[in-house]
Amino acid sequence: MALKTGEQYKESLRKMRPNVYKWDRLIEDITTDPVTRGHVASVAHSYDMSFDEKDAYIYTAKSHLTGEIAHRWNTLPQTAEDQMHNARMKRHQYRHSGTCKGATCAGWTGMTVLWAVTQEMDKEYGTNYHERLKNYFKYVEDNALALAGAITDAKGDRSLKPSQQKNKDSHVHIKEVREDGIVIRGYKTQICGIVGANEIIVVPGGGYGESEKDFCLAVAVPRDVEGLTCVITRKPSDTREEEEGWDAPKVGTITQAYLIFDDVFVPNERVFMAGEYKYSGKIIGYFAAIYRAAIGACVAGQGDVMIGAAINMARANGLSQKVFQDKLTQMAINNEINYGTGLGAMLAGKQHESGLYIPDALLAHVNKTQVAKLPYETKVITQDISGGIAETGCIPSYKDFQSELYGEHLYKALEAATDGESRTRAARLAEWLTVGAGIPGCMHGGGSPDGAKMVVKALTKWEDYAADAKRIAGITGEIVEPKKK
Ligand SMILES: Cc1cc2nc3c(=O)[nH]c(=O)nc-3n(C[C@H](O)[C@H](O)[C@H](O)COP(=O)(O)OP(=O)(O)OC[C@H]3O[C@@H](n4cnc5c(N)ncnc54)[C@H](O)[C@@H]3O)c2cc1C
């Protein structure tokens, strides 16, 4: 079975061992619990879209392993067009739910990056990681699985290496090597889409040297593997999201999780790196190029929804779109800068010898620096257009509107060019998109903008540009970088 419907996907989650907690409570059924159902429903929508007459081409692709049509997040992007479809899918997904569908993103990217890196490792070390990965990839495709990607370690003191931390568990590491596999332990944090995932791809959180080889591991584990506990994080609008009224968005919701690996055994067939530190940086490099090119599409998709939310608020307040057109146009420009820079990175990329297509690193990292900036301006404009009720803390709760004593007065107080309930719903969405849980990790999702700037600095051809400028100016005298005094 290469394709699953949303319902079949939900069924696969129901069969898993419950190991996800929130509010110190074990979630028995992830597909129906108020804490998790929104995210699962939005991932299920992507499964259903794979059968959509009009848009299936975005959500599916031809498998490089079998030639069959599979979910896009189960296939290897081999061309610029394939990667651009990744961007189109992400923008489409955000347009649907206003937020991230983690279980069709980072884990998929991790698996495709390992496709390339395992081939490089096998060449140097004579290992058989690529064959293992190929079998795993086939398993993922055959079972139409959703994957989360765990890169970020808890890290501990940021100025120290993993091996120097007072608690080795700050980074997931190899505790024991056995003949039939490895035992891993430690913490991965802020991992998106865990509740919607069947499997988790775990890779190193950084590029490391020999002293850190215990931290250089790449594995695939079932989300419900023995020894793993997942704790879902709290968000500003959480309690509202979990109730039935209009305080909660009607589609989507994002969930991050902390992963506690407490001596988890991973059999050899699911181990794709175990100590080959020289290649840990390659995983991060390829991953960042793919992810940071595509994240422009995520924020553009959410920006599209913000434009819609701002227009609805203006109209609900009795003002026409025209009043705010200049601001709305700026929102559209911000969206397209992020989307377009990502597409540019994809077009300027190249195919790795393994077949994986990798976007251009310089443009992808430039995009990340702007993803950490422009959506925030878009959020400011959304609030500006909407008025105070879209800022946090300015609308009574759904429950108060139900009050026999004063509910009717609240409806009347919020009435403007539309009825009180419609205006309140519109404001709640604007609030959720700008200061609530709808924020798709613009700043740190996919890594910090400062990290991206370091790559831009490293890849920019400063000396070539200085030489060009000298030639154009006709300079024959010596102009050199001053020596350190
Ligand atoms: C919404 C969201 C979704 C996410 N989803 C995922 C996911 O699915 N999978 C996943 O693996 N991760 C995920 N993450 C985690 C994300 O990748 C990290 O937040 C990001 O890499 C930054 O790491 P950090 O949060 O530990 O911040 P830090 O590393 O603590 O960074 C904080 C600041 O300190 C700077 N800094 C850090 N170390 C140093 C140093 N040694 N020297 C100088 N400056 C330094 C950084 O540049 C930054 O400015 C997600 C994050 C968010 C916000």
Binned at pLDDT 50, 70 and 90, residue 248 comes out as confident
Instruction: Report the pLDDT value the prediction gives residue 119, as an integer from 0 to 100.
Output: 98
Ligand 1, from 187, 190, 259, 368: best to mutate by most atoms within 8 Å of Cβ?
190
Question: Could you read off the pLDDT of 226-244 as tens digits, one per residue?
Answer: 999 999 988 777 777 777 7
Measured CA to CA, the distance from residue 113 to residue 164 in angstroms comes to 28
Mean pLDDT, the chain, as a whole number?
A: 95
Question: Which of 36-40, 148-152, 240-244, 422-426 shows the lowest per-residue confidence on average (mean pLDDT)?
Answer: 240-244
Q: Reduce the DSSP state of residue 265 to 3 states and report it.
A: strand
Instruction: Report the pLDDT value the prediction gives residue 111, as an integer from 0 to 100.
Output: 98
Q: Rounded to the nearest 5°, which phi and psi values hold at 144?
A: 50, 60
**Which atom belonging to ligand 1 lies closest to the Cα atom of 193?**
8
Measured CA to CA, the distance from residue 104 to residue 96 in angstroms comes to 14
Nearest residue (by CA) to ligand 1, atom 37, is: 158
Question: Could you read off the pLDDT of 422-479 as tens digits, one per residue?
Answer: 999 999 999 999 987 766 688 998 899 999 999 999 999 999 999 999 999 999 999 9
Nearest residue (by CA) to ligand 1, atom 46, is: 448
CB distance 387 to ligand 1 below 6 Å: no
Beta bridge partners of residue 261, listed in sequence order: 186, 228
Cα(138) to ligand 1 centroid in Å equals 31
Give the residue, 219 or 236, on which the prediction is more confident: 219
Q: Which residue segments constitute the domains of the chain, with CATH numbers given?
A: 6-279 (2.40.110.10), 282-462 (1.20.140.10)
Binned at pLDDT 50, 70 and 90, residue 391 comes out as confident
Instruction: Report the pLDDT value the prediction gives residue 246, as an integer from 0 to 100.
Output: 81
Question: Could you read off the pLDDT of 304-351 as tens digits, one per residue?
Answer: 999 999 999 999 999 999 999 999 999 999 999 999 999 999 999 999
Binned at pLDDT 50, 70 and 90, residue 28 comes out as very high
Instruction: Report the pLDDT value the prediction gives residue 335, as an integer from 0 to 100.
Output: 98
State the alpha helices, DSSP H only, in 372-406: 374-386, 398-401
Nearest residue (by CA) to ligand 1, atom 52, is: 445
What is the DSSP code (8-state) at residue 104?
B
Binned at pLDDT 50, 70 and 90, residue 108 comes out as very high
Instruction: Report the pLDDT value the prediction gives residue 238, as an integer from 0 to 100.
Output: 76
The pair of structure tokens assigned to 149 is 């990607």
Measured CA to CA, the distance from residue 380 to residue 310 in angstroms comes to 11
Instruction: Report the pLDDT value the prediction gives residue 252, as an integer from 0 to 100.
Output: 75
Instruction: Report the pLDDT value the prediction gives residue 440, as an integer from 0 to 100.
Output: 66
Instruction: Report the pLDDT value the prediction gives residue 416, as an integer from 0 to 100.
Output: 97
